[in-house]
Copies of this chain bind each other. A is one copy, B any other.
Amino acid sequence: MSDHLSSLKLTFLPAGRSITISAGTTILEAAREAGIHINSSCGGSGLCGKCRVRIESGEFSEEGSPRLSQKERQEGIHLACRTRISSNAEVRIAAEAGIISGGLTTGIKERRKASLYTFDIASLQKAGVFRPPVEKLFIELPRPGAHDNMADAGRLLASLASQYDEHGLIISLAVLRKLRRVLREDDFRVTVTIARPVRIGGRSYILNIQPGNWTRRNYGMVFDIGTTTVYGQIIDLASGEVLAEEGEYNGQIAYGEDVISRMIQAEKPGGLQMMGEVVCETMNRAIAAMQKKSGISREEISSLTVAGNTTMSHLFLELETDNIRRSPYVPVSTFLPPMRAADLGLDLQPHTVALVFPAVSSYVGGDIVAGVMGSGMYRDPEITLFLDIGTNAEIVIGNEEWLACAACSAGPAFEGGGITCGMRAGNGAISDFTVNPADLEPMNTTIGNKPVAGICGSGLLMIVAALFRHRIIGPDGKFNRELESHRLRAGENGFEFVLAFAEETGVDHDVVINEVDIDNFLRAKAAIFAGVVTLLEQVGLAIKDLDRVILAGAFGSFIDIDAAMTVGLLPPLDAEKVMYVGNGPLMGGRMNELSNHIRMEVVEAVNRMTSFELSEVPNFKDNYLAALFLPHTDRSIFPPDP
């Protein structure tokens, strides 16, 4: 029955557009997905009472709608944000909720997000590269006797050579110390954990030895150390499955939200060690939680892959970051040797090896490399733009033959910073927006359907795109002062648009967007787009040569690609050419844990990745100025709508 109900058809009238939704979806959510505008300035929290619809047919459930009169209720009027559909239904949007003559008002088609690039174990298997960098081999040794008293270590190595063609293995002191006992515990039947080299011709290491056959219990961990959050996974290295996941706020947040404040902290006496210890504590909490969830013991974790931006990787390893933040931005190291996880302060066994993703430069870090790896762009013939948007935007362009990368500072606008009513992507943040060009009434969607509290990065993008699309702002980002609306007014920072009046919000003031905010947004998107154009120019190409775009990072997964193209943040490509990798570092880390072949390829790819310092390229400033308009001054790149 629930199966039957789980896929419902909801038709919006008068437009007649239908959408397939899951049972329990609110009408407002459904409208948003369908590209239907319904006025709702409070963010879908029931406060403003504007999203009135009449349910013409179908079943539904409703939370209290105090804003509706007795008469309205009798007429079948409901608030779209408080009403959940439980059968196929028809809904007519009330005039006051945004209907203008002819029907649809948003002017956009169905909402389009980049399609998710998914990681495919089957393809690894098919390509014959599903062979983890840390493997377990079961082996039965000949027993020693009067005519064969070779040493235990030599016996093991000789057997690995003859039975598995493994040569030149290095045994650690820790393994030697338990070798005698382990060999004899199950009559010379043992499981050997072997770590592969990342270089051709390198030597493999014996990390551990266990009595009996434990080849089916070989587990790895992956960590994405983000500036804000740390995500971990436990991976079954035999099947490739993710067995447990955990996310924690990076404990370093107590010392500042951005990488710069972390680096300043690290330069204080004892600060570097403290920053290292704090992030290890965060990781250790995640390790404990994942072990509890999965029932996998520390002894069974053979390897760990860590991906993070260059600053996060440095702080984790307690490498000095002083020159990462000072021109000419020199990190201590981009390549990092395999290490013992326990030496780094992690609650893991001495035999667990830690692999840290290589970086390209101070500002194109292991997180980006992991994403590039996860996306596979380094082995495709298509010319791909890989874009991770945050305070810094990291840009990688290339294909199987060449790779170029750069980073540019976009400023904090995409994280809600420097915006009058900006906020991080949390409850109450406007994350989606359309506007009714007839009366300038907004349809605000907030995270958690909570009363409006501010604007987050993806909301800012949607707002600017909608205002521009309906010519409420011009190409220069200034409001059309000829429009008349109680929502449009002169404020302290130029003209402003009231997204939600104080009484429609969860805060004690009007939530607005003003011309200074829009200007900040333009600077951010111009920096990114100029970065892309400049990097392309450095390799003799132009926007038109791009075959594909891959978005990474949290912002990339939320981004509306039509909006991004409308404002000129992304180049105008067919929507199906735009993809996103969800958590690039985790995906890349998982591939690293499962395929030593890919791990070797990535080192090779990083070696041939050319890093450009955009601030050193004279053209960058021109490209930046050209991109400070909506969508761009160069209409050959962004042709005007027909």
Check A454 for interface membership: any CB of B closer than 8 A: no
Contact A152 B331 (CB under 8 A): yes
Which residues of B sit under 8 angstroms from A502, Cβ to Cβ?
A: none
A331: chain B residues within 8 A (beta carbon): 151-152
Complex interface bits, A575-608 against B, C-beta within 8 A gives 1, otherwise 0: 0000000000000000000000000000000000
Enumerate chain B residues within 8 angstroms of A334, measured Cβ to Cβ.
151, 153-154
Are B177 and A319 within 8 A (Cβ)? yes
Quick check: B320 and A180 within 8 Å, CB to CB?
yes
Contact for A333 among B149, B151, B361, CB less than 8 A: B151
| A124 close to chain B: CB less than 8 A | no
Find chain B residues with CB under 8 A from A343 CB: 173
By the criterion CB–CB under 8 Å, are A362 and B149 in contact?
yes
Select A328's contact among B144, B180, B361, beta carbons within 8 Å: B144
Residue A42 interfacial (CB < 8 Å): no
CA distance A319 to B317 in the complex (A): 31
A146-173 interface (Cβ within 8 A of B): 146-155, 168, 170-173
Are B150 and A330 in touch, CB under 8 angstroms? yes
The reply to whether the CB of A476 lies closer than 8 angstroms to some CB of chain B is no
A332–B176 touching, CB < 8 Å: yes
Evaluate whether A616 and B177 lie within 8 angstroms (CB atoms) in the complex, with A154-B335, A172-B337, A334-B153 already known. no
Which residue on chain B has the smallest CB distance to residue A334? B151
- By beta carbon, the residue of chain B nearest A171 is B337
Indicate how many identical chains form the complex: 2
Query: Which residue of chain B has the shortest Cβ distance to A337 in the bound complex?
Result: B170
Q: Is A61 interfacial (CB 8 A cutoff)?
A: no
**Complexed CA–CA distance, A152 and B323 (Å):** 10
Docked complex: A165-207 residues within 8 A CB-CB of B? 168, 170-173, 176-177, 179-181, 199, 201-203
CB distance from A20 to the nearest CB of B (A): 51
Q: CA of A186 to CA of B203 in the docked complex: distance in angstroms?
A: 36
From residue A486, how far is it (CB to closest CB) to chain B in Å?
53
CB nearest neighbor in B for A361: B149
A613 within 8 A of B: yes
Chain B contacts of A362 at CB under 8 A?
149
A149 with B317: CB separation less than 8 A:
no
Report if A330-B151 is in contact (Cβ < 8 Å); known contacts: A199-B168, A203-B202: yes
Q: Which residues of A contact B (CB under 8 A)?
A: 144-155, 168, 170-173, 176-177, 179-181, 199, 201-203, 317-320, 322-323, 327-337, 339, 343, 361-362, 613, 616
Top 3 A-B pairs ranked by shortest CB distance?
Answer: A153-B333, A149-B328, A180-B320
Q: A151-B330, A173-B343 are in contact. List 13 more A-B contacts (CB 8 A).
A: A145-B328, A146-B616, A147-B616, A151-B361, A152-B323, A152-B332, A152-B333, A171-B337, A172-B337, A173-B317, A177-B320, A180-B323, A181-B320
